[in-house]
Amino acid sequence: MTSTRPFRFGLQAFTVSSGKEWLDIARRAEDLGYCTLFTTDHYFGPGDISDTTGHRPVDVAPIAAMMAAAGVTTDLRVGCRVFAVDYHNPNVLAKELATIDFLTDGRLEVGLGAGWVAAEYDGLGIPMDRPGVRIERLAETVDLVRAHWSGEPLDIDGQYVHASGFAGRPLPVQSPPPIMIGGGAPRVLRTAGRLADIVSLNFNNASGSLGSASVASATLEKTQEKIGWVREGAGDRFDDLELEVAAYFAAVTDQPEEATAAMAGRFGVTPEELAAHPHALIGTVEGICESLQHRREELGISYVTISQRNMEEFGPVVARLAGT
């Protein structure tokens, strides 16, 4: 499948030592040509949750961090990859997001997901329902959020979300802001195909932790299968969707074979599998650009998110491909 969408590059940041560092990351991301700075919707610092799940601790809460980043930049979009809907009252979240779009003059990207870190649910004291319930709540939340942003009187009485007696304010500047839904399993990706503007193709983290099984769930073959699930959910609107992945395994290097072999050994896949892995970008600037162009032609993926640790080294890639 060939995509004609121009490349976009996001930057996701997890760890900062100070407010100044966060603001510096935002300014630098804009200077380098990244289109979006993503926070993440996790609330644990160092401790057992991080140790048992393999997920790094997260320093800043998303909404305040998004606004701070927008305040020191001009064009950089801000988002969260992704808000777990179980952690938020949907009406409060809808108003918070509309306010961000309103105050940033339309620079919001909205990421919504069904949640997956069981240890975090336990640590926060939030009940974690089975996947089907969480995904249905996600779908109802998407509908409520969009209704809230419409400015029309709300009268929603869903199985999991409710809103009545008021109209949403403020009205977002974008009509409406784009919604990204992420996931790695059939039901959530069919839901994303049906409801999202941007679909984030991710690991299948049904186990609640990161590890070799996560990596193996997102190989080239598995990603092709995931895109099929998105297509099933989207139907005739599939060509209107933007497909996004995160480059979790990334390195700009003149020795890609050695770097790929070393990284593959750590994550339980073969070097050949990792070289073709849609979440891996390892090679020279020229080689990475060629890989991204090939994947856009083969898979339709045009939106790539880079981790903060790779921000500077991927700057030349962003400069060469962003908007093309």
The per-residue pLDDT for 2 is 59
Identify the DSSP state of 25.
H
- Does position 194 have pLDDT exceeding 70, yes or no? yes
Q: Is residue 247 part of a domain?
A: yes
Q: Are 311 and 250 in contact (CB under 8 A)?
A: no
| Structural domain includes residue 165 | yes
Higher pLDDT, 15 or 4: 15
**Residue 235: exposure state from Cβ atoms within 10 A (0-12, 13-18, ≥19):** exposed
Say if residues 195 and 139 touch (Cβ distance below 8 Å). Answer: yes
Query: What number of other Cβ atoms are within 10 A of residue 183's Cβ?
Result: 29
pLDDT band at 301 (very low <50, low <70, confident <90, very high): very high
Quote the CA–CA distance of 148 and 166 in Å, as a whole number.
9
Output the pLDDT for position 14: 87
- Summarize pLDDT for 232-276 with one digit per residue, the tens: 999 999 999 999 999 999 999 999 999 999 988 888 789 998 999
Return the percentage of the chain with pLDDT > 90, whole number.
87
Beta bridge partners of 283: 252
Supply the CATH number for residue 165's domain: 3.20.20.30
* Residue 236 CB contacts under 8 Å (≥ 6 apart), including other chains: none
- If you count them, how many residues does the chain have? 324
Region 67-82: what's the mean pLDDT? 98
pLDDT tens, residue by residue, 104-134? 999 999 999 999 899 999 999 999 999 999 9
Report pLDDT for 1. Answer: 58
The strand ranges marked E within the chain are 8-12, 36-39, 77-80, 83-84, 108-113, 153-157, 162-167, 179-183, 198-201, 242-247, 249-252, 280-283, 301-307
| DSSP code per residue over 225-245 | HHHHHHHHHHGGGGGGPEEEE
3-state DSSP call for residue 297? helix
How many whole angstroms separate alpha carbon 13 and alpha carbon 59? 9
Residue 37 lies in a domain: yes
Give the residue-averaged pLDDT of 75-84: 97
Within a domain: 3: no
**pTM for the whole structure:** 0.95
In the numeric block, the tokens 């926070």 are attached to: 39
Q: Dihedral angle at the C-alpha atoms of 90, 96, 100, 101, nearest 10 degrees?
A: 40
Q: How many structural domains does the chain have? A: 1
pLDDT value for 206: 61
H helices of 87-211, in order, are 90-103, 118-124, 131-150, 186-195
Q: Is residue 2 part of a domain?
A: no
Segment 165-185, tens digit of pLDDT? 999 999 999 999 999 998 999
The pLDDT of residue 214 is 73
pLDDT, residue 209, reads 47
Per the DSSP assignment, residues forming a β-bridge with 78 are 37, 108
Q: What is the residue-averaged pLDDT of the chain?
A: 94
Tell whether the model's pLDDT for residue 44 goes beyond 80.
yes
Task: Output the CA–CA distances (angstroms, integers) from residue 244 to 53, 190, 247, 271, 295, in the order listed.
Answer: 24, 15, 10, 23, 11
Residues spanned by the domain of 23: 8-321
Half-sphere exposure of 38 (CA within 13 A, CB side): 27
Residue 213 above 80 pLDDT?
Answer: no
Structure confidence at residue 203 as a pLDDT band (50, 70, 90): confident
Identify whether 1 is part of a domain: no
Decide if 43 is inside a domain.
Answer: yes
Flag whether pLDDT at 54 surpasses 90: no
Q: Are 69 and 76 in contact (CB under 8 A)?
A: yes
